[in-house]
Structure 1
Amino acid sequence: MSTSYGGTSLVVYYGLKASRVLEELLASAIIASATHQQVTLFVNALDEAEAESAQRLADYFHHLVSKAKEKNVALKACFSSRHYPIIGSDHALEINVEDHNQKDIALYIEDKLIGMKVYTGSTRQITRRGLVEELTQQANRVFQWARLTIPLIKQKILEGESIDEIRDWLHDVPAGLEDVYVYILNNVIADGNRDQSFLFFQWLCLAERLLTVTEMRYALGAKDSEKALCRSLWEKIHGFIEDDERMKQRIKALAGGLAKVVSNGPKQHQETIQVVHQSVNDFLRTKRLALLSSYTTSASDPLIDTDKIISWCQGTLY
């Protein structure tokens, strides 16, 4: 036992030591480069790291900038993050995007509404202008709110609703971002899609890595199989989605705008599925998978049945 424990400790020790060596090498390389030219580091989405890791990274870059200042070299670092308990610096400047993005949100909304043909003549412009102003105000400086709401408006126009009717509908759309997520789960995802939507979001939020569109097709079929099948038998499962194009259409219906397909290369199998924003993943994992579960036909089952998930994972080893 003692030998095993000692071996484990040695591995951890060397792992930490290697990490520090890499940090020092990176710092030396950056400062060396900054002696010849101004270097600006951009660190995006720092909040997507775990709290401890995010704070450690912030400390590392703050220390690096201070070290560069002592050596009189031109080095700057810029972090982007949601509001988060990240350690600051006495010399750092802070910009709250929501204090400066009102005009950008208005431009985004106006651009998306240009192609919406509801009225003709001068009244069309007046109506659109009023809708842009109302949407901008209701977005309350949260770009993600506007991004999620615009597709819902487009759908209503396709269904023949007038802009006046849409403006009336907006009064029922909540202003808070998480409240919009709840609204989508409650009202946008159709009742007939609830079971599959719950399964879709479990795979999306709990998978260790992003799943491809093809992998999601087989994952959704796993609920009807408790063991691995050969590919030909798998594709005979009732309700199996036979190709990626149809799967991408189903994702629109199952996700309600909360997830999207992202291309990672020229080949179709390189298309992966991800949430539209990290806050969606946080929201679902911490709170609202329970809400989706309550809508399913098997609502009496536990929220996350680990035995079922293990069985599904084994079943998808195709």
Structure 2
Amino acid sequence: MFRSLLLQLLEGYRDLQTVLGDPDIVPRTQRGCPSLNTLKDIFAASVSRLGSRTFTCFVDALDECDEQQVRTMVQDLEELADESKEKGQVLRICFSSRHYPYINIRHGIHLTLDGQSGHVNDLNNYVRSRLDIKDPKLVNELQGQILEKAAGVFLWVILVVEISNKENGRGRLALKKRLEAIPDELSELFKNILRRDNQNMEQLLLCVLWILLAKRPLRPKEFYHALWSGLSPQGLVDDEVPDVTSQDSGDTFTSCVVSYSKGLAEITKSNQPVVQFIHKSVRDFLVKDKGLQEIWPDVGYDWEC
């Protein structure tokens, strides 16, 4: 994170790059990426040279990091903000996180987004725009049910809207019954999604294991080949090695990730896309809540990823 912040700061204010030549901060013997402590020192020194210029940091998804690392990082940035304030500099830092773990911020404004009226409006707009149902009356009924059961959880809404669209072809009554049967809690919803039809469970397990156990997030074509290598000996895919160079390979990768993960994994939208779960809560359900062992008892216990 500090490396990313530092890169953006030095690219935005190129004159600050002179800090990299300061031997008191960066050892002359430095080769490769500096250590974390050195990165912190470079970042702090760069911020101290901002003068009258402003710098705003946005740090997203604190809940997806190790809790102790988060607390240390927040403390470091708070100290840097205090030093900047004493010098009359304008350094703004914005953190975002789920409610747990709770991270206390000594100075600043706390905004609880799911308690804002705009959050409810966003949920309303999302449901109305994404529900692929032509009957306006049914849309209104379903919208009310979905928002009531969602209790402000956007991810729950996203998953349930997808389920509703799939169920739409079965008729009005079946759709309403399906919605009533969907669990309120995210962990139960994940379990419901994974066990819904018990189809392609071998593909699903491999998909989950590659995301959980890979040393680094896999690129789409790597993930595609990894699945093929695991499914080919079982006769569940074609024997021929898949072609990942065709023009429609991007669509193939996306379809593979979404269908094999039953919608719980995605390809990130970035310059170097990788395959990941749609949210950290999916990983929490599989590992911390023992969902992996409950659905596939043969994989064993005492998982830590």
Q: TM-score, length-normalised on structure 2? A: 0.75
- Alignment-derived partner of residue 10 in structure 2: none
Q: Do residues 205 (structure 1) and 212 (structure 2) align?
A: yes
- Alignment-derived partner of residue 230 in structure 2: 223
* Aligned equivalents of 2:38, 2:257: Cα separation in 1: 44
Q: How big is each residue's C-alpha offset from its partner over 1:174-218, in whole Å with a ceiling of 9 and x where there is no partner?
A: 11112211111121xx42301221111001111121212322233
- Alignment-derived partner of residue 193 in structure 1: 200
State the structure with more CA Rg. Answer: 1
Residues 236 and 304 of structure 1: is their aligned pair in 2 closer, same or farther, counting only changes over 3 Å?
farther
* Greater length-normalized contact order (CA 8 Å, ≥ 6 residues apart): 1
SS of structure 2 residue aligned to 1:84: coil
* Structure 2 stretches lacking a partner, 5+ long: 1-31
Pairing 1:99-110 to 2, within 5 Å after superposition: 99-100=115-116, 101-110=119-128
- Alignment-derived partner of residue 160 in structure 1: 170
270, 283, 286: which one aligns with 1:284? 286
Residues 146 and 134 of structure 1: is their aligned pair in 2 closer, same or farther, counting only changes over 3 Å?
same
TM-superposed deviation, 1:85? 3.6
- Alignment-derived partner of residue 9 in structure 1: none
* Aligned equivalents of 2:46, 2:38: Cα separation in 1: 12
SS of structure 2 residue aligned to 1:39: strand
Q: How big is each residue's C-alpha offset from its partner over 1:240-264, in whole Å with a ceiling of 9 and x where there is no partner?
A: 6565454533333221110112354
Q: In 2, are the aligned partners of 1:43 and 1:78 still within 8 Å (CA)?
A: yes
Q: Do residues 126 (structure 1) and 129 (structure 2) align?
A: no
Residues 246 and 225 of structure 1: is their aligned pair in 2 closer, same or farther, counting only changes over 3 Å?
closer
TM-superposed deviation, 1:305? 12
TM-superposed deviation, 1:271? 4.7
Pairing 1:77-96 to 2, within 5 Å after superposition: 77-85=93-101, 87-96=103-112
Residues 222 and 291 of structure 1: is their aligned pair in 2 closer, same or farther, counting only changes over 3 Å?
farther
Q: How big is each residue's C-alpha offset from its partner over 1:226-250, in whole Å with a ceiling of 9 and x where there is no partner?
A: 9xxxxxxxx9748x65654545333
Q: In 1, are the aligned partners of 2:219 and 2:274 still within 8 Å (CA)?
A: yes
SS of structure 1 residue aligned to 2:124: helix
SS of structure 2 residue aligned to 1:184: helix
Q: How big is each residue's C-alpha offset from its partner over 1:250-297, in whole Å with a ceiling of 9 and x where there is no partner?
A: 3332211101123544xxxx5532111122122222221213314xxx
Q: Do residues 148 (structure 1) and 159 (structure 2) align?
A: yes
* Aligned equivalents of 2:40, 2:77: Cα separation in 1: 10
Q: In 1, are the aligned partners of 2:167 and 2:174 still within 8 Å (CA)?
A: no
Residues 19 and 176 of structure 1: is their aligned pair in 2 closer, same or farther, counting only changes over 3 Å?
same
Q: In 2, are the aligned partners of 1:210 and 1:274 still within 8 Å (CA)?
A: yes
* Aligned equivalents of 1:220, 1:304: Cα separation in 2: 23
- Alignment-derived partner of residue 256 in structure 2: 250
Q: Do residues 171 (structure 1) and 180 (structure 2) align?
A: yes
Greater mean alpha carbon deviation, residues 47-56 or residues 24-33: 24-33
* Structure 1 stretches lacking a partner, 5+ long: 1-14, 120-124, 227-234, 295-300, 307-318
Residues 304 and 216 of structure 1: is their aligned pair in 2 closer, same or farther, counting only changes over 3 Å?
farther
Letter in 1 for 2:40: E
Q: TM-score, length-normalised on structure 1? A: 0.72
Structure with the larger helix share: 1
* Aligned equivalents of 2:103, 2:146: Cα separation in 1: 35
RMSD: 2.9
Q: In 2, are the aligned partners of 1:45 and 1:80 still within 8 Å (CA)?
A: yes
